[in-house]
Structure 1
Amino acid sequence: MAEPLRIRAGDSDRDAVLQVLMDAHAAGRLDMAELDERQTQVITSRYLDELKPLVADLPEGNSLVLMTGPHQGRGLATGPGQMPALHDQDAVVSTVAVMSGKNLKPARGVEKLTSFQFWGGDEVDLTEAFGPGVTITYEAVAIMAGSTITVPEGVRVQDDTVNIMAGNEIKSKAQGDGSNGTLVLSGFSMMAGHTVKLTKNK
Structure 2
Amino acid sequence: MLQILGAAHGAGRLDPDEIDERQNAVLRAKFVDELPEQIDDLPEGAALAAELSRQAAAASGTGTGGTARSGPAPAGRDLAPAWKGPGGEILPAHQGTGPERTRVDIMSGSEVHVEPGTPRVLSYALMGGSEIYLGDVLAPGVQVVVETYAMWAGNEIYVPPGVKIVDETINIMAGNEIGRHARGDGSNGVLVLRGFSLMAGNEVKLDPDWRPGPAQLGR
Matched, 1:199 2:212: no
Matched, 1:182 2:190: yes
Aligned equivalents of 1:181, 1:91: Cα separation in 2: 19
Gaps of 5+ in 2: 1-96, 211-219
Count residues with an aligned counterpart.
114
CA drift at 1:90: 4.5
Matched, 1:142 2:150: yes
Counterpart position of 1:165: 173
Counterpart position of 1:55: none
Counterpart position of 1:108: 116
- Structure 2: which amino acid aligns with 1:149? I
Instruction: Calculate the aligned-residue CA RMSD, in Å.
Output: 1.3
- Structure 1: which amino acid aligns with 2:149? V
- Structure 1: which amino acid aligns with 2:150? A
Deviations 1:162-185 (A, max 9, x none): 000000000000000000000000
Give the TM-score taking structure 2 as reference length.
0.51
- The equivalences for 1:88-127 within 5 A come to 90-127=98-135
CA drift at 1:199: 1.2
Aligned equivalents of 1:122, 1:151: Cα separation in 2: 14
Counterpart position of 2:214: none
- Structure 1: which amino acid aligns with 2:103? T
- Structure 2: which amino acid aligns with 1:146? G
- Structure 1: which amino acid aligns with 2:160? P
Gaps of 5+ in 1: 1-88
Give the TM-score taking structure 1 as reference length.
0.55
Among 126, 134, 137, which residue is 1:129 paired with?
Answer: 137
CA drift at 1:107: 1.8
Aligned equivalents of 2:127, 2:147: Cα separation in 1: 17
- The equivalences for 1:34-73 within 5 A come to none
CA drift at 1:201: 4.6
Structure index of larger Rg: 2
Q: Percent identity?
A: 45
- Structure 2: which amino acid aligns with 1:105? H
